[in-house]
Amino acid sequence: MTITAAHIIRFIETVAARIKEQRDYLTELDSAIGDADHGVNLDRGFSTVIGKLPSLADKDVGTILKTVGSTLVSTVGGASGPLYGTAFLRAGKVAANRFELNPAEVVAALEAALEGVQARGKSTRGEKTMLDALGPGVDTLKAACANGEDFVTAMRQSVAACEAGMHATIPMLATKGRASYLGERSIGHQDPGATSTHLMARALLDVVESLHL
């Protein structure tokens, strides 16, 4: 299976639509352990991204992803802008000058995104952040592809791992970001960053599944 620049555009459009649909839910999650702005901030950022997509129609995957990343950094407030922005920028570097990506290249781009989030956030898994969803998702995708699974099956397994990681943040004690200020009171709440990460992973799966029909 090949992921083209046009498919990446569709993925970004899908993410933007899902963020808008789930804006209030993401903000509700953030109101419990953050600044109550995660959904609003991401919606603002991806709405700005959507406005730039027409100018990217003939660009390579790397340019598309790097434009998304730089736009998120400049328009999304709080921690999520720099973190998601870095993820897309790092993925864009791996996909530079590529108009098509094979599964191994998709994995490499996502690994770069994961490493970027870890470096920018100075965080690791188990701290109740988006890494707790993104890490298992990327690991599972890499392992499934290495085991010879077709890309659709690998993506389904990856999103399931991402979802499990999202739910696993509920009993965690937050030790990074705004939520860490709450101490024990952060326990029992699902992390909004892990939730938006799963939302994006699901959007990518939907695009991949549509190519399989």
159-168: average pLDDT: 98
Mean pLDDT over all residues of the chain? 93
147-166: average pLDDT: 97
Give dist(CA 128, CA 125) in Å, integer.
Answer: 7
CA-nearest of 128, 103, 2, 106 to 62 is 106
Side chain identity, residue 103:
P
pLDDT for residue 1 = 85
Give dist(CA 84, CA 130) in Å, integer.
Answer: 10
The pTM of the full predicted model, rounded to 2 decimals, is 0.94
Q: What is the pLDDT of residues 22-54, one digit of tens each?
A: 999 999 998 887 888 899 999 999 999 999 999
Q: State which residues form the domain around 32.
A: 3-212
| pLDDT at residue 179 tops 70 | no
Percent of the chain scoring above 70 in pLDDT? 96
CB-CB neighbours of 146 under 10 Å: 11
Kindly report the CATH number assigned to the domain that includes residue 93.
Answer: 1.25.40.340
Q: What's the pLDDT band for 173 if we cut at 50, 70, 90?
A: confident
- Biggest CA–CA distance in the chain, Å, is 50
Q: What is the pLDDT of residues 51-92, one digit of tens each?
A: 999 999 999 999 999 999 999 999 997 788 999 999 999 999
Q: Which residues contact 36 (CB under 8 A, 6 or more apart)?
A: 27, 30
Domain count along the chain? 1
Q: Please tell me what DSSP assigns to residue 185.
A: G
pLDDT for residue 16 = 98
For 45, the token pair is 């950022």
